[in-house]
Amino acid sequence: MSKNRPLIGVTPWYDYDQELTYIKPGYLEGINKSGGLGILLPMTIDENIIENIMDRCEGFLISGGPDVDPKYYNEVNLPFNSSISPLRDKLELFIIKKAIKMNKPILGICRGIQIMNVAIGGTLYQDIESQITDRVVIKHSQEAPKWHPTHKINIQEGSIIHDIFKSLSIDVNSFHHQAIKDIAPGFRVSSTSDDGIIESIEYNDHKFAVGIQCHPELMWEKNPLFLNLFYRFVNSCL
């Protein structure tokens, strides 16, 4: 393996009470296992610092986490909206918009897919069960081990996700109460669950800009199939 691993920035979680920056397991490990050099980014909204980060990193992973502030898609906070992280919102919106313009690879996971969509002009369901009333929705916030798949997704042939997983259907885990509603311009849907919830998106005419709703970082140790997503992402950063 080459010693020159691509430097990939991972967006952090942040505890406002303790002023603590951290990341949950699986993200950095998946990048490093796949030949990248994952680093945890600082929690900052200083645009000069973020610009330096953009110049130095070859790619970006937008991690899971709390809800996106609905003001960024022109809605008010409804009662079922959960916790938000204003610092993360600003950091990630800046990175996503810049990465799309710079054609730098970007992978969004769970919250990551949602804020990628919002950054480019899309909207979200603030709560799937409360706002989708025209059909029965499956359970999207599982009560099972984090690595255990609980529902399937249906993959569009010819998509990047299809090329990665080599299948029109795979089983995934699920930990979310929000989801993409209106897809942003420039993105296309590459997979959905049986109830029609968008499970992955990709940006047209871009080196690699993919968002996925499940948590592959929690699955790849038990199921190496999901490491293929990290390999593809890391290789796009070379």
- Cβ atoms of 55 and 24 closer than 8 Å: no
Record the tokens describing residue 113, joined without a space.
Answer: 């897919």
So which residues are the catalytic ones? 110, 215, 217
Q: What is the C-alpha separation between 146 and 150, in angstroms, rounded?
A: 10
User: Is the separation of the CB atoms in 115 and 84 below 8 Å?
Assistant: no
Query: Which residues have CB under 8 Å from 152's CB, separation 6+?
Result: 169, 170, 171, 172, 193, 194
Task: Please give the DSSP secondary-structure letter assigned to residue 216.
Answer: G
Rounded to 5°, angle at Cα 90 from 204 and 118: 35
Strand order in the sheet with 7-10: 37-40, 7-10, 59-62, 106-109, 209-212, 198-203, 187-193, 151-155, 169-172
In Å, how far from its chain's centre is CA 31? 14
Q: What does the alpha-carbon distance between residue 164 and residue 144 come to, in Å, rounded to a whole number?
A: 26
Instruction: Give the helix/strand (H/E) hosting 169.
Output: strand 169-172
What tokens were used for 213?
């709703």
